[in-house]
Chain A
Amino acid sequence: MWRIATRLRLLILFAALAVLPYLLSYSQQEIAVLLVINVLLVCSYRLLTLTGEWSLGHVVMMGVGAYASALLTKRLGVPVPVSMLAGGLAAAAVAAILSVPLFRMKGFYFLIGSFAAGEIIRLIWKRFTDPFGGPKGLKRIDAFPNIDFGFLEIDFYEPVNYYFLALIVVSASLYVLHRIERSRIGLTFHAIHWQDRLAESVGVDNFRYRTLAFVIASFFAGIAGGLYGHYVGAVNPTRFGVDQMVYVLVWAIVGGTATLHGPILGVVVLTVINEIVLRGLGLDTVRPLIYGAILILSVLYLPDGLESLGPRLRARLRRRGRDPAAAGGRAA
């Protein structure tokens, strides 16, 4: 179905991703695991933005998945892979319920409404110590069980192994998100974004489709939450607060949301800057400042995000190729 060039590029990408953890230090491997999880978080967020709605509750939905999956394993002894899936479904169910009040609003009002809804959920986690553990959250969450092939035992305490697990889950999820976007469902999301009245007039139930986008996005955020909870082993309400949400927004805006790879570029580039540059220079404490500066600069000078860099460069190169005199003139 895909063109050969695309397949080849994907093959190279996956080969690089397979080699990558062996080039990293232990602590960098841990960061790589979180990065892969964050890729799913921001890409699922993008699906909702296709309908034109921006939520401030997406990280809370990740938290719903993390809490649900952790509680299912701790309280009911559900095996971890099953509980992760259930965590995604729990986040989807919460999104479906929240849709009823939230999608009476649009644009800015939805943004604020989603923030309020998220805060209510976080307050519930804080208030009800049983079962949510209060402000301290849940600790000693079961790890992903080891897989024993007899000749080979995979221990998911090892970041490298968890990295590959997360990579498989996230790649599969991204493929599903890609399929949804390329189908008529994605077309309908775009249509609602650009002209919701016109979409409604030809029979699109805007409320239903906005709900669908919110539910799907939350499902995958919940999966990301499950991956996170069973890796880190602890979750608490602060981890899913609005400051985390701001990071997701920055990743999405800096990367761009027109393509699936836009937000991936955003989260990868900013994480690399964060971990290598800032931590290396000992600038860890000024992280929000630097992030803010990057956000402002990218909005001013790269409003379509990092994803627009490639096409822009290509267009410039093509112009040079066609008109060498002009290029020389510009160089001089």
Chain B
Amino acid sequence: MSGPGERPILEARGLIRRFGGLVAVDNFSFAVREGAIHGLIGPNGAGKTTTFNVISGFYAPNAGQVLYRGRNVSGRKTSALAAMGLVRTFQGSTLFQELSVLDNVRVGRHLTARAGFLARLLGADRPSERAADAKARETLAFFGLEELAGEPASNLSHGHQRMLGMAVALSAEPRVLLLDEPFTGMNPQETRRMMSLVRRIRDGGVTVMLVEHDMQAVMNLCDTITVMNFGALLVEGAPEEVQNDPAVIEAYLGAAADDGAGHAA
């Protein structure tokens, strides 16, 4: 097993994202080391998903920078980031529901199965498409979905849909994979399976950052955890440090009544 290196592959510096008067992400910074499994947690409404959307290019930050492999990539298009190897997944069953399972993963190979317009028209792209198909089936096999290749994605169970969502992202051959709540709605057995898959993906050389509510999964899986609250950094550290940090416990469980009232106002 390869442990995380020292070099950050993905960094945020002083990110700010506002929606009207609401500051969803407020001067937030973090660094993800290459080869790590990095968790981003926080109470509901802490700004985790907004942070993900800013990192993955769905929103431009109002201020601050996102650095990927040392380059400032803030405000770049999602597709351009994917081409650089920064790929995200989505919450819930965000899939091409009407396409077959195999076609879902084939779309995921968009960047690697390149061909010109005329080549596509004349069928000269067949070798690269064959290779893409073979790779897609490999990816499906990795997630245990190969039997379901011909099914429409909408026919899959929730757990399988989550697997497929990850398969689509992985087939884009990311260097950094951003997982948005990968364990939500899974039963304990599926969660365990998914955790081992995430570890295998990391061992294959992919840095993983994930947003998750399942504390047990996060604590078991992550090398480093960043806790955010009210859009800002609360604590960052190894799971055992974070777990026992009074500030984290307070953020999750709420503090004494007077303190809580202070936040509400």
Q: Which residues of A contact B (CB under 8 A)?
A: 176, 179-180, 183-185, 187-188, 190-191, 194-195, 197-206
Is B171 an interface residue when CB atoms closer than 8 A count as contact?
yes
Q: Is the CB of B107 within 8 A of A201?
A: no
CA distance A203 to B169 in the complex (A): 10
- Residues of B in contact with A, size category: 35 or more
CA distance A130 to B88 in the complex (A): 54
Return chain B residues, CB-CB under 8 Å to A203.
79, 82-83, 87, 110-111, 172
Q: Is the CB of B95 within 8 A of A185?
A: no
Q: Is the CB of B58 within 8 A of A202?
A: no
Q: Is the CB of A198 within 8 A of B90?
A: yes
Q: Is the CB of B94 within 8 A of A198?
A: yes
CA distance A191 to B97 in the complex (A): 9
Q: Is the CB of A183 within 8 A of B110?
A: no
CA distance A179 to B118 in the complex (A): 11
The 10 A-B residue pairs with the shortest CB-CB distance, nearest first, are A203-B82, A203-B111, A183-B120, A202-B172, A191-B107, A200-B78, A205-B79, A194-B96, A202-B108, A203-B110
Return chain A residues, CB-CB under 8 Å to B129.
184
Q: Is the CB of A201 within 8 A of B77?
A: no
Return chain B residues, CB-CB under 8 Å to A185.
117, 120
Q: Is the CB of A202 within 8 A of B120?
A: no
Q: Is the CB of B78 within 8 A of A180?
A: no
Knowing A176-B121, A184-B125, A195-B96, the reply to whether A201 touches B169 (Cβ < 8 A) is: yes
Knowing A183-B120, A185-B117, the reply to whether A202 touches B110 (Cβ < 8 A) is: yes
18 A-B residue pairs with CB within 8 Å = A179-B121, A180-B121, A184-B125, A185-B120, A187-B103, A187-B106, A187-B107, A190-B96, A190-B99, A191-B96, A194-B97, A195-B97, A197-B58, A199-B96, A201-B169, A202-B111, A202-B169, A202-B172
Q: Point out the residue from A183, A188, A195 that lies within 8 Å of B95, measured CB to CB.
A: A195
Q: Is the CB of A201 within 8 A of B82?
A: yes
Knowing A194-B99, A198-B95, A201-B78, the reply to whether A188 touches B90 (Cβ < 8 A) is: no
Write the chain A residue with the least CB distance to B83.
Answer: A203
Per-residue interface assignment for chain B, residues 49 to 73, with 1 indicating a CB less than 8 Å from any chain A CB and 0 otherwise: 0000000101000000000000000
Question: DSSP class of A's interface residues: helix, strand, loop or mixed?
Answer: helix
Known: A194-B98, A202-B168. 9 other contacts (CB 8 A): A191-B99, A195-B96, A197-B78, A197-B94, A199-B107, A200-B77, A201-B87, A201-B88, A202-B82
- Measured CB to CB, the closest approach of chain B to A246, in angstroms, equals 28
Q: Is the CB of A204 within 8 A of B79?
A: yes
Q: Is the CB of A198 within 8 A of B96?
A: yes
- Measured CB to CB, the closest approach of chain B to A29, in angstroms, equals 33
Return chain B residues, CB-CB under 8 Å to A188.
107, 110
Is B255 an interface residue when CB atoms closer than 8 A count as contact?
no
Write the chain A residue with the least CB distance to B56.
Answer: A201
CA distance A33 to B120 in the complex (A): 31
CA distance A187 to B107 in the complex (A): 7
Return chain A residues, CB-CB under 8 Å to B117.
185
Knowing A179-B121, A184-B129, the reply to whether A202 touches B171 (Cβ < 8 A) is: yes
Is B115 an interface residue when CB atoms closer than 8 A count as contact?
yes
Return chain B residues, CB-CB under 8 Å to A191.
96, 99, 107
CA distance A194 to B152 in the complex (A): 13
